[in-house]
Amino acid sequence: MTKSSSTSHWDKLVERYFEALTTEAEERRLRRFLCSPEGADPRYDDVRAVMGFLAVGRQTLRRPARVRPARRVRHWAAAAALLLLAAGGAGWWIADRQRNVCVAYVDGHRVTDTETVMRQAVEALDAVDRQLGDPTVEQQLNDMFHTLDADTPADAQS
């Protein structure tokens, strides 16, 4: 085959390609030609561009669409972090409620106002406070011994 007849063959093949008349084998041969030095002619740029675009499109369609694993892991990690944060916050709140309590029951009524509860606490402390005038243990003992001395006859004390 001469060069001119070879060129004419490829031109006809390009023409058939654009008319969608080429077979799969002919398209493969044309693709190989366009990648070769002989096919580097600028007049084949159009067909080269179309075939390249279609090849990329074909590859994209062949590849199954799937979620990137890294993104899915990030989603689960974020959900787990939020859950832990919520659980931690709830746990801290519950523990705080249990650690810090300020409540009084006055005449059957529940009181949670801090000022009122603390006032009741102070009143309870006042109620148990040993007041002036109350006899101490020492005073009570002294009273007992003085009573004994007074009751014991004078000659029995010596």
Partner 1 sequence: MKRHLILLALLAVLTVPACAQNGLAVAQLFDGRYKDRAGATEVLVKGRQLKAYDLTLFRSLTLRATDAETRRIEQLVRTDARHAADKETAVRGGRLYYGFYRFPPADGRQRYLFYRNNALAGDASAGLTVVYLEGSATPDQLKQMFQK
Q: Which residues contact 118 (CB under 8 A, 6 or more apart)?
A: 102
d(CA 11, CA 29): 13
Q: Which is nearer to partner 1, 86 or 103 (CB)?
A: 103
Q: Which is nearer to partner 1, 2 or 131 (CB)?
A: 131
Structure letter (DSSP) for residue 109: E
Q: Which of 25, 128, 132, 154 binds partner 1 (CB under 8 A)?
A: 128
- Per-residue string for binding with partner 1, 80-99, x by CB under 8 A? -------------------x
Q: Which of 123, 145, 154, 158 binds partner 1 (CB under 8 A)?
A: 123
CB of 146 to partner 1, least distance (A): 17
User: CB under 8 A: which stretch of 8-16, 17-25, 50-58, 129-137 binds partner 1?
Assistant: 129-137
Is residue 114 within 8 A of residue 103, CB to CB? The reply is: no
Q: At what angle do helices 45-62 and 3-18 cross, to 10 degrees?
A: 50
d(CA 85, CA 64): 37
CB of 94 to partner 1, least distance (A): 13
